[in-house]
Amino acid sequence: MEGPKAVSSMVFVLILLVSPLALAMSGGFQPQLGGHNASAATQSDLPRRAPAGSTAGAFSFVSNFEDRQFDGWTAVSGAASVTTKTTYSGEPSLKSSSGGAGPQVDVASQGFVTGDASISFQVAMSGAGTGYFGVGTSGSPVAVVGISNGRVQAGPDLNHLQDLGPIPNGNSYPVGWVYLLASVYDSNTNSAPGSGWAMQVFVDRTDQVAATITVPVAGSYNDALIDTTAGTVYYSDIVVSSYQIPTYLPGYNNMEGYGQGSGLLVNLLPAYYNLTAEMNLRSWNIPQVGILSFQINALNYYGTTRSTCGGFFQLGIDLNPNGHIAPWYVPGKNCVAHYFLNSNSPHIQQGIPSPAPTHLVLSIVYQMAAKQVIFTIRDTTTSQVFNASIPYSGDPFYGMYTQVEFQPCCNTSPIQDYRLSGSLYDVKITTLAGSTQGLPASYMLPFVLDAPPVWNFGYYLNSTFGYQQTT
């Protein structure tokens, strides 16, 4: 989330003024949401082939109707409209209604790359009607999820649907909406591609698979589709990606954490060992510790192509009340935050004072000869340096993204009470060949998310190798 600055810099200019979100699903989400301070969680990988040796064939398709346009959708039957009256946390939605002539059907294939051994998709849905979203072959469903009469359904097509129970209530998503996510993959790892496809379905949370469903011809996908068969259904926050979106962490999904999310990466960066960035914090007004964080992420090959905690190195700060910050890092093998502050210190939760305007210099460096990764945050305002190293002898880094992360699982104050004016800029990588550079325009899909509407986050717009993030 991001924006331009002079030279080859990447700048974030952001002011967070946001509308309320409900607390987490009662008895479900644990106080461990988000990559930066999630407590230990059991991870599981999809039983599928490892990613190909290159992500040149990767793709992402994003449609949240931010521009009030159809985002590449074409009506096959009936007519749909984009509305700002029914929104998903401020995001416009596609209003789709079936009529006397039959279902309302839309398809999109913009940028799709076919033939991958796996594909993920997500959608937010609302309405009293019956509607489905998923991937298809020339408009015919091959793997879909949807809602009907207040219940969640999924299947290989509309004639073979499995009931997954009622739409959950009391979760962290907007009232009346359900968040559906699916990972579709070739489950026969020892057979020819396409011989046996399955779909794992997630409903409002990514730590529990709601169902695993056989989708035998899903490997033939070449488009995405929306099919409303009865009444009116609203669709928003759509992503289709050849990357794995689910993270299998309680209450967390990187595409719902107000960060870019690796589901939008479409090309590998050149292999690099050094990620640096500068952060300015002009002001912040935060009612609760540990809820809002600002961070950079370096990912090795596995971490880039799989949205799990493996190979995922984070460095950032919690923005805390009374002008305090709490710096932390995540060591690439779990999503547990390691605070730089002494664990015996009474300040570990509230952090330490850093009078605004605060200037921080962040770096994640892989020292291959020494087989270690070094995390450093230098606070030039107070002359404090936070430094830690971990043993590591894996791949160099191939991906990165940045993130402002709000945790709806654990907050006790309305989200509109959180305010931040700051910037992240001069984000650079140093390749194995020794070249220091900004990020190329092609590595991430442009994406803008307003959720809530006063959070105006431009995810990757490549303005002077940069990002746009303004309100």
Q: Of 11-25, 74-88, 155-169, 427-441, which range is least confident?
A: 11-25
Class of domain 3-43+259-469: mainly beta
Nearest to 237 by CA among 459, 388, 46: 459
Residue 235 has pLDDT above 90, yes or no: yes
Each domain of the chain, given as residue ranges in start order, spans 3-43+259-469, 60-241
| Cα separations in angstroms, 353 against 154, 269, 319, 325, 369 | 50, 36, 10, 6, 36
pLDDT of residue 273: 97
At residue 403, the 3 state secondary structure works out as strand
pLDDT of residue 404: 74
Encode pLDDT of 323-342 as tens digits.
999 999 999 877 788 899 86
> Which has more pLDDT, 425 or 158?
158
As a whole number of angstroms, the distance between CA 112 and CA 110 comes to 6
> Which has more pLDDT, 21 or 450?
450
Give the confidence band of 95 by pLDDT, cuts at 50, 70, 90.
very high
What's the average model confidence in pLDDT over 289-313?
82
Encode pLDDT of 51-70 as tens digits.
333 445 667 788 888 788 99
Residue 243 has pLDDT above 60, yes or no: yes
Give the whole-number percent of the chain exceeding pLDDT 90. 41
Encode pLDDT of 188-207 as tens digits.
754 444 458 999 998 987 66
Residue 92 has pLDDT above 50, yes or no: yes
- Element at 338 (helix H, strand E): strand 338-339
From 2.60.40.4070, 2.60.120.200, 3.30.230.10, 3.40.50.1390, which CATH number describes the 60-241 domain? 2.60.120.200
> Which has more pLDDT, 413 or 162?
162
Close Cβ partners of 5 (under 8 Å, ≥ 6 residues apart): 11, 423, 425, 426, 464, 466
Encode pLDDT of 109-136 as tens digits.
988 888 888 888 999 999 999 999 999 9
Q: Of 34-43, 285-294, 350-359, 445-454, which range is least confident?
A: 34-43
At residue 420, the 3 state secondary structure works out as strand
- Is it true that 3-43+259-469 and 60-241 share their CATH fold? yes
What's the average model confidence in pLDDT over 366-389?
95
As a whole number of angstroms, the distance between CA 468 and CA 471 comes to 10
